[in-house]
């Protein structure tokens, strides 16, 4: 009976996460949702937050990419290319270029998380529209009256460690860890949970919640910190699920040996 319940839990978690769609807005924000309808100019989606039932509309011109049912990502832009000082090329979508930092979304077969790097790392930008731009190298000055972009990024990372809540990720990974022993079902669910970008970044206890919408550098730092926290707890949960049966068998053997 316990075996059946465990399998059902693993399958349920896999269905939940495999049904997830992803939208990427023009500001780099990723939205986990269910895409309801797409036409020539609008996209309708529903949040995966079960407490929110309303349908949200977005202009397609405000969307960079979308992915439905874990199929191939559809891009609505021509990628840019960042060239580092050593000649390495990064295919991406540039979000902002400021005196001190460049924020961008790495692009492969899928679209990566919002990344921020000092402009001193790069020498040239080839834009998707065919134009090019030499990157100006400037130092970012930090004063007592203002924070640099890097300060906001680090603040976001630190706040994520304190306030980001992983919800049922640990429980889900433990269930999937147990499910690994049943024709590997849990492994798939565990990988999907681990790889799914963090969501529900807001926490009422976080005094800097407003910066998630108003400051791109804080948002990027918080997202990076949340991703790190999620990966850490997911790995712990899955490992516990995998080791639990082994530990149980070990205890049983030790008791039997003791009684002999």
Cα 40 to the center of its chain, rounded Å: 28
Identify the pLDDT of residue 189: 63
- Percent of the chain scoring above 90 in pLDDT: 17
| Strands, sheet with 74-75, edge to edge from the N-terminal-most edge strand | 55-59, 42-47, 30-38, 21-25, 63-67, 74-75
Residue 110 near residue 90 (C-beta atoms within 8 A)? no
Identify the pLDDT of residue 217: 83
Cα 238 to the center of its chain, rounded Å: 18
Identify the pLDDT of residue 63: 94
The residues, ordered by sequence, that sit 6+ positions from 251 with a Cβ below 8 Å of its Cβ are none
Please state the pTM of the whole predicted model.
Answer: 0.50
Read off the pLDDT of residues 172-199 as tens digits, 9 standing for 90 and up. Answer: 666 766 666 665 556 666 566 666 777 7
Residue 44 near residue 36 (C-beta atoms within 8 A)? yes
Residue 221 near residue 45 (C-beta atoms within 8 A)? no
Identify the pLDDT of residue 177: 61
Identify the pLDDT of residue 253: 74
DSSP string, the chain: -HHHHHHHHHHHHHHHHHT-EEEEETTS-EEEEEEEEE-SSEEEEEES-TT---EEEEEGGGEEEEESTT-PPEESSPPEEEEETTS-EEEEEEEEE-SSEEEEEEBSSSB---EEEEGGGEEEEE-TTS-EEEPP--PPP-BTTB--HHHHHHHHHHHHHHH---TTHHHHHHHHHHHTTTTTHHHHHHHHHHHSPP-----TT-TTTTHHHH-HHHHHHHHHHHHHHHHHHHHHHHHHHHHHHHHHHHHHHHHHHHH-
Identify the pLDDT of residue 28: 84
Identify the pLDDT of residue 94: 94
Mean pLDDT of the chain: 77
Terminal-to-terminal C-alpha distance of the chain: 30
- Rounded CA-CA distance 120/138 in Å is 7
Identify the pLDDT of residue 111: 80
Identify the pLDDT of residue 227: 85
Closest CA to 159 of 116, 216, 203: 203
Q: Identify each DSSP E strand in 68-121 by its residue range.
A: 74-75, 80-84, 89-97, 101-106, 115-118
Q: Which residues in the chain show pLDDT less than 70? A: 1-19, 49-52, 138-147, 167-174, 176-195, 237-238, 241-242, 245, 249-251, 255-257, 259-260
Read off the pLDDT of residues 58-68 as tens digits, 9 standing for 90 and up. Answer: 998 999 999 88
């Amino acid at each position: 009976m316990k075996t059946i319940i465990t399998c059902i839990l693993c399958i349920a978690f896999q269905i939940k996460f495999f049904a997830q769609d992803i939208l990427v807005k023009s500001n780099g924000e990723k939205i986990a949702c269910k895409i309801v309808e797409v036409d020539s100019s609008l996209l309708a989606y529903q949040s995966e937050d079960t407490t929110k039932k309303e349908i949200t509309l977005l202009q397609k011109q405000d969307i960079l990419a979308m992915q439905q049912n874990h199929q191939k990502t559809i891009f609505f832009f021509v990628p840019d290319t960042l060239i580092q000082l050593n000649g390495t090329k990064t295919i991406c979508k540039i979000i902002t270029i400021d005196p001190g930092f460049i924020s961008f979304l790495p692009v492969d077969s899928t679209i990566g998380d919002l990344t921020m790097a000092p402009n001193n790392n790069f020498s040239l930008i080839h834009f998707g529209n065919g134009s090019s731009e030499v990157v100006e190298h400037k130092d970012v000055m930090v004063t007592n009256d203002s924070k640099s972009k890097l300060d906001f990024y680090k603040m976001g990372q630190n706040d994520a460690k304190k306030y980001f809540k992983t919800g049922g990720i640990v429980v889900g990974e433990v269930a999937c860890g147990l499910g690994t022993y049943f024709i590997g079902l849990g492994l798939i669910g565990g990988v999907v949970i681990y790889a799914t970008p963090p969501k529900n970044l807001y926490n009422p206890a976080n005094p800097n919640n407003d910066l998630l919408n108003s400051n791109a550098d804080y948002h990027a730092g918080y997202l990076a910190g949340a991703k790190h926290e999620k990966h850490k707890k997911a790995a712990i949960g899955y490992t516990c699920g995998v080791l639990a049966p082994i530990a149980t068998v070990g205890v049983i053997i030790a008791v039997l040996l003791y009684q002999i």
